[in-house]
Amino acid sequence: MNVLVVNAGSSSLKYQLLDTETREIATKGNCERIGLDRGIFTHTDPSGEKVVEDALFPDHKAAIDRVLKTLDAEGHTFEGIGHRIVQGGWYFDDSALVTDDVMAKILEVAPLAPLHNYGEAAAIDACRARYPEIPNVAVFDTSFHMSMPEVAYTYALPKDVCEKYHIRKYGAHGTSHRYEWMVAKEMLGDFCHRLLSCHLGNGASLCAIEDGVCRDTTMGLTPLDGLMMGTRCGSIDPATVCYLQREGGYTYDEVDEMMNKQSGLLAVSGISSDARDIRNGANHGDENCLLAFDMFAYKAMLQAASMIASMAGVDTITFTAGIGENDWTIRQAFCECFDWLGVRIDRERNQAAVGAGPQVISAAGSPVTVMVIPTDEEYMIALDVKRLVEGA
Residues of this chain that interact with ligand ADP (CB under 6 A) are 201-203, 230, 274-276, 321-323, 326-327
Nearest distance from C-beta of residue 264 to ligand ADP, angstroms: 10
How many helices (DSSP H) and strands (DSSP E) are in the chain? 15, 14
E-strand stretches of the chain: 2-8, 12-19, 25-32, 39-44, 50-55, 80-85, 96-97, 136-140, 194-200, 204-210, 213-217, 316-320, 359-360, 369-372
According to DSSP, the residues that pair with 28 across neighbouring strands are 16
Residues 135, 392: contact at Cβ < 8 Å?
A: yes
According to DSSP, the residues that pair with 211 across neighbouring strands are none
Q: Is 216 a catalytic residue?
A: no
d(CA 40, CA 34): 9
For 387, counting Cβ atoms within 10 Å of its Cβ (0-12 exposed, 13-18 middle, 19+ buried), the class is: middle
For residue 123, the 8-state DSSP code is H
Nearest distance from C-beta of residue 318 to ligand ADP, angstroms: 14
Neighbours of 186 (CB within 10 A): 10
Nearest to 87 by CA among 174, 208, 197, 215: 174
For residue 341, the 8-state DSSP code is G
> At a CB cut-off of 8 Å and minimum separation 6, what does 276 contact?
none
| 203 vs 281 by CB, closer to ligand ADP | 203
| 65 vs 377 by CB, closer to ligand ADP | 377
According to DSSP, the residues that pair with 360 across neighbouring strands are 371
> At a CB cut-off of 8 Å and minimum separation 6, what does 225 contact?
169, 218, 219, 234, 235
Neighbours of 291 (CB within 10 A): 16
d(CA 121, CA 46): 29
65, 141, 225, 384: the catalytic one is 141
Residues 180, 318: contact at Cβ < 8 Å?
A: yes
d(CA 312, CA 300): 18
Residue with the closest Cβ to ligand ADP? 322
| 136 vs 205 by CB, closer to ligand ADP | 205
d(CA 301, CA 295): 10
Kindly give the interhelix angle for 275-283 and 287-310, rounded to the nearest 10 degrees: 120
Residues assigned a catalytic role: 141
